[in-house]
Amino acid sequence: MEQGKEFFIGLDLGGTSLKYALGTSGGDILIKDEMDSKADRPQKEVFEVIFKAIKVLREEAKTRGGFVAAIGLGSPGAVDFEKGKLKGNTPNFLHWGDAEIKKTIEAEFAIPCWADNDANVMAFAESRKGAGKGANNVIALTLGTGIGGGILIDGQLFRGTRYAGAELGHITIDYDGEPCNCGGYGCVEKYASAPAMVKNYIEKLTTAKMSIPDKVSTKIIFARAKEGEKQALETIDDTCKYLGAALASIINIFNPEIIVIGGGVADAGDEFMRRIWAATTARTMKPSLEGLKLVRAKMGNDAGVVGAICMASEMYYSQKRD
Ligand SMILES: [Zn+2]
């Protein structure tokens, strides 16, 4: 039995970097850093990156007079939470398919490990330490290159029967809409993600015979909207309508207490949030709106590691009790 204070490791594996942090049982970060995740390299090398981060943090725990009690990891893709194993492939991670995350890490370090889908982990962070703290029924939506989702019911993550649930970005908002790489059509991700917003904006500029900047980003769109440019304002209005349609469906189904919006696009500010709220409430069944809050995520870039620390800590103590 290890002696001293119990610390927890949170790992956030992404297509460009592995974020890693050492935290307390309450999910407070003590130190954090990141390194290249080597997403294009063979699986063995990605695990070596993970091992390196764990070794650094294990030393840190020792220095602080304690030990690492458990490790949590958020990964892209569907993750079998019981087995801590990736189910199938992830598009931005060439050789990460079917990775045995829990088994491999536990074999190397003899420290209990839990792995989950990254959007779930972020939603968990918001529900334990962020904007959704104290709420039982939380919906988290991350707006970025894609649209990720997490659902907490009675304080617990809802993962679905085969760990493939909570794909909120793939709610159909147009029956005959654009084909999506999920196999469906007209998914909200195809209309309200950052790339979709950029595409919509370029189309509007083209129609208006206006010049198109070299690198169009959502940042540029929001900046130009602030200056009052019609095409930028219309693009944002469209995005809010698309999101509103998806959110109204989510609210009608789950009747949540709070909806937390995160990701790059959500950093656009309160005016954007007000517009999303207006577009949403215009088409939501009224009883669900009572007391409902729509807020911006609080955890920012730390959401992945904090969520992983909180998850590891909760699982560790719940197993210790049993
Ligand atoms: Zn889809």
Q: d(Cα 14, Cα 17) in Å, to the nearest integer?
A: 5
- Is residue 15 a part of any domain in this protein? yes
In the reported structure, the alpha carbon of residue 15 is separated from the centroid of ligand 1 by a whole-number distance in angstroms of: 20
pLDDT score for 110? 97
Question: What pTM was computed for the model?
Answer: 0.94
Asked whether residue 97 is assigned to any structural domain, the reply reads yes
Q: Tell whether 129 is covered by a domain.
A: no
The number of folded domains in the chain is: 2
Residue-wise pLDDT for 227-243, tens only, equals 999 999 999 999 999 99
Ligand 1 center to 72 CA (angstroms): 28
Same domain, 169 and 291: yes
149 and 109 housed in the same domain: no
What CATH number has the domain bearing residue 194? 3.30.420.40
Beta strands in 132-234 (DSSP E): 138-143, 147-153, 156-157
Distance between Cα 143 and ligand 1 center (Å) = 14
CB 194 within 8 A of CB 213: no
**Domain carrying residue 55:** 5-123+301-321
- pLDDT for the residue numbered 91: 75
pLDDT score recorded for residue 3 = 79
Ligand 1 centre distance from Cα of residue 249 (Å): 15
Give distance in angstroms: CA of 127 to centre of ligand 1: 26
Tell me how far the alpha carbon of residue 9 lies from the centroid of ligand 1, in angstroms: 33
Tell me how far the alpha carbon of residue 3 lies from the centroid of ligand 1, in angstroms. Answer: 48
**Cα 192 to averaged position of ligand 1 atoms, centre (Å):** 12
Predicted confidence at residue 1, as pLDDT, reads: 62
Tens-binned pLDDT, residue by residue, of the chain (322 aa): 677 899 999 999 998 999 999 999 999 999 999 999 999 999 999 999 999 999 999 999 999 999 999 999 999 999 999 999 999 888 778 899 999 999 999 999 999 999 999 999 999 999 999 999 999 999 999 998 889 999 999 999 999 999 999 999 999 999 999 999 889 999 999 999 999 999 999 999 999 999 999 999 999 999 999 999 999 999 999 999 999 999 999 999 999 999 999 987 777 888 999 999 999 999 999 999 999 999 999 999 999 999 999 999 999 999 988 7
Cα of 241 vs centre of ligand 1, distance in Å, is 18
Helix, coil or strand: residue 164: coil
Kindly state whether residue 198 falls inside one of the protein's structural domains.
yes
Question: Rounded to the nearest whole angstrom, what is the distance from the C-alpha of residue 191 to the centroid of ligand 1?
Answer: 10
Task: State whether 100 and 200 are in the same domain.
Answer: no
Looking at residue 152, what is its pLDDT? 98
Q: What pLDDT does residue 93 have? A: 87
* Residues 116 and 180 placed together within one structural domain of the fold: no
Beta bridge partners of 294: 259
Ligand 1 centroid, distance to 188 Cα (angstroms): 7
233 C-beta neighbours (distance < 10 Å), count: 16
Q: How far is CA 319 from the centre of its chain?
A: 26
Q: Is residue 12 part of a domain?
A: yes
H helices within 40-147, ranges in order?
Answer: 43-63, 101-109, 118-128
288 and 317 together in one domain: no
Distance from residue 37's CA to the centre of ligand 1 (Å): 26
Any domain includes 310: yes
Q: What is the pLDDT of residue 18?
A: 97
Q: Is the same domain home to 66 and 207?
A: no
Residues 289 and 309 in one domain: no
Residues 262 and 141 in one domain: yes
Question: Is there a single domain that holds both residue 119 and residue 138?
Answer: no
Ligand 1 mean position, distance from CA 181 (Å): 6
In this structure, are 51 and 151 located in the same domain? Answer: no
pLDDT score recorded for residue 80 = 97
Domain identity same for 158 and 273: yes
Q: Answer yes or no: do 31 and 169 share one domain.
A: no
58 Cα–ligand 1 center, Å: 40
Distance 252 CA to ligand 1 centre (A): 20
Separation of 90 CA from ligand 1 center, angstroms? 14
Q: Is residue 128 part of a domain?
A: no
CA of 146 to the centre of ligand 1 (A): 10
169 Cα–ligand 1 center, Å: 7
Distance (Å) from CA 242 to ligand 1 centroid: 14
Q: Give the list of residues 6+ apart from residue 62 with CB closer than 8 angstroms, or none.
A: none
Query: Does residue 45 belong to any structural domain of this protein?
Result: yes
Q: How many residues belong to the chain? A: 322
